[in-house]
Amino acid sequence: MVITGTMPTLAAWEFWQQTAWGLTKLVGQMAVIVIPLMLFMEVMKDTNVLDKITGWLHWTVKPFALPPAAVFPLLVGLVFGLAYGAGFIIQAAKEGTLSKRDLYLVSLFLVINHSVIEDTLLFVAIGAKGWVVLTFRFVASVLVTWAVGRFVMPPEGASVNEEGHHA
């Protein structure tokens, strides 16, 4: 059997072709979800519904010293996951509604605790207890985000006491 130089080239070409097609389909699927969500968010902003929702839920981000504008990206990331939540985080960054600190803390929270419905169902499917997964991820995300927001990246203007801790 003689191996020619065209075999690996053909296999590589097929690999890259399949990869490109798979990525194109994935981007298309994401666009089908993200674009309507973004349009929906714009309508909610224009009708002040988003302001009312973030006002009602602002208490959820107060422990991290985050503004009400952080509520919506957090909700999207918690429910739909990082890929979709990132779209809203990027939009908030472009609009300037969140500071670098706010963006970092929202992202940190979501790295630990995102896509709670889908991920929990996946863990349950392999035998985990859903309430344990949800509880552990939520508690870990709250504690880590709170600690980083309080001690590593305190809000501007936070006073420091005599021991060097932020008050």
pLDDT at 5: 54
Which backbone phi and psi does 160 adopt, to 5 degrees? -115, 130
Measured CA to CA, the distance from residue 68 to residue 112 in angstroms comes to 21
∠78-155-80 over CA atoms, to 5°?
A: 10
Q: Which amino acid makes up residue 69?
A: A
Q: What is the mean pLDDT of each run of 10 residues along the chain (167 residues)?
A: 59 89 89 80 86 89 91 87 85 91 95 89 91 95 95 78 50
pLDDT at 110: 95
pTM score? 0.70
Measured CA to CA, the distance from residue 109 to residue 125 in angstroms comes to 25
Sign of CA dihedral 90, 96, 100, 106: negative
